[in-house]
Amino acid sequence: MASSDKPFNEDALYNSFPDGADNEYGPAEGFNVFKKLNDESLFTPDARADPVIQAFLEAPFSVTFAQFKSSTRESEWALHKPHLAMAGEVAGIRGPVDRFPAENPHIGTYLINHDRTMARWKWSVVVIEDGAQAGQMVYKQEDTSQEKPGFGEPRP
């Protein structure tokens, strides 16, 4: 029950979840990192010669991928305050998203399979931004091999 004496502090709530890196869901394992995909250095010369790939590389927007383990501190920040996560302002999340607008960013969010739980599984996000706004598409992955016993409950 909320008290009128103390304002609700959502940041404290997000920080009450376990750090992903402490549970093998950190950057070393491929989590909590925004990685630009339409980066020329990621493609071979043969791939860059393909006109579709070339158009992707020259697009007026960037495409970025990240994955998060749900019920971690980083996933709570990324989902509920994506403007801070994408700007590289959340400890434990590597960013920023390329050209993410620093002032008044507009972020549209689309959850592909909203019917699936985020309570235990990992989720992936694809971000498209054009320097003025961003859209993120979230996909929840039900992968039992990713679950660790006793993991997923917030800290007391």
Instruction: With beta carbons less than 8 A apart as the criterion, state whether 40 and 57 touch.
Output: yes
What is this structure's pTM? Answer: 0.84
Residue 73: partners with Cβ closer than 8 Å, 6 or more residues away: 14, 15, 16, 17, 18, 19, 20, 92
Q: Which residues of the chain have pLDDT under 50?
A: 146, 149-150, 152-156
The pLDDT, as a whole number, for residue 155 is 40
Query: SS in 3 state form for 116-140?
Result: CCCCCCEEEEEEEECCCEEEEEEEE
Burial (CB count <10 Å: 0-12, 13-18, 19+), residue 107 = middle
pLDDT of residue 144: 55
User: How much is the pLDDT for 103?
Assistant: 81
Q: Say what the pLDDT of residue 77 is.
A: 95
Two tokens, residue 150: 């006793």
Answer for the pair 109, 136: CB distance below 8 angstroms, yes or no.
yes
State the Cα–Cα distance between residues 110 and 82, nearest whole angstrom. Answer: 13
Residue 8, pLDDT score: 83
- The predicted structure's pLDDT at residue 117: 67
- Per-residue pLDDT, 104: 84
